[in-house]
Amino acid sequence: MQTVDLSKFENPIFDRGGGRSKEALWLAVRQLLFQSPFKNYRLKASLLRSLGATLGTAFVCKPRVQITFPWRLRAGNNCWIGEEAYILNLDHVTLGNNVCISQRAFLCTGSHDTTDPHFGLIHQPITIEDGAWICANAFIGPGVTIGRNTIVSAGSVVTKDLPPDMICGGQPCVPIKPRVLRDAP
């Protein structure tokens, strides 16, 4: 019977999206400035933009956020990323307007081919549409789209697309009930 042989793992076709020098610069900037405990949102947004991120206005990025490749991050206006959130963006991550990613949420665009005895890398983009909220400790997997105004409850594991205007939860995450927004005062 065949078994996995990790010694044969190779990654020759994976495009990191930027040269080694760009990645090295990001690693240094991330370690020295970006992951600081201070809440200098403008500086963090400026650092991300300088390395290729596309960010709208009023971008908030709390302390100790991890972003693998800034050049693969797109965020609309009024996006919040909470403390210790992790965006493993081997592929593109797109956040619409007014998206909240809560503390310790994990957006993961990469995995491994379960049929490959050499454990080949696979990756797919993640899209989180306008008004969505990814609650604390939720996991969003490769290739997932979270619908407009949808809430993913704390600790959920999302491996499939979720429809708009729903409150969703669980492991696996499923729609629970409609999200109804009351009229603004």
Residue 183 falls within a domain, yes or no?
no
Q: Is residue 13 part of a domain?
A: no
pLDDT value at residue 46: 94
The Cα 64–Cα 31 span in angstroms is 10
Residue 114 domain flag: yes
Q: Are 119 and 113 in contact, with CB atoms under 8 Å apart?
A: yes
Residue at token pair 């990613």: 101
Helix-, strand-, coil-residue percentages of the chain, each rounded to 5:
15, 30, 55
Rounded CA separation 41/82 (Å): 12
Give the mean pLDDT of 96-123.
95
Cα radius of gyration (the chain): 17
Q: 124, 109 in Cβ contact below 8 A?
A: yes
CATH label of the domain that carries residue 46: 2.160.10.10
pLDDT for position 34: 82
Residue 31 predicted with pLDDT over 90? no
3-state secondary structure of 30: helix
The pLDDT value recorded for residue 160 is 98
| Res. 110: pLDDT tops 80 | yes
Chain center to CA of 83 = 13
Domain count for the chain: 1
Residue at 8 is within a domain: no
Residues 16, 90: Cα–Cα separation, whole Å = 7
| In-domain check, residue 82 | yes
Residue 117: pLDDT band (50, 70, 90) is very high
Tell me whether residue 95 is in a domain: yes
d(CA 33, CA 45): 12
Domain that holds residue 25: 20-178
Please give the average per-residue pLDDT across 108-119, as a whole number: 93
7 falls within a domain:
no
Note whether residue 94 is domain-resident: yes
Q: Is the pLDDT of residue 12 over 80?
A: no
List pLDDT tens digits, range 44-59: 999 999 999 999 999 9
Query: What is the reported pTM?
Result: 0.94
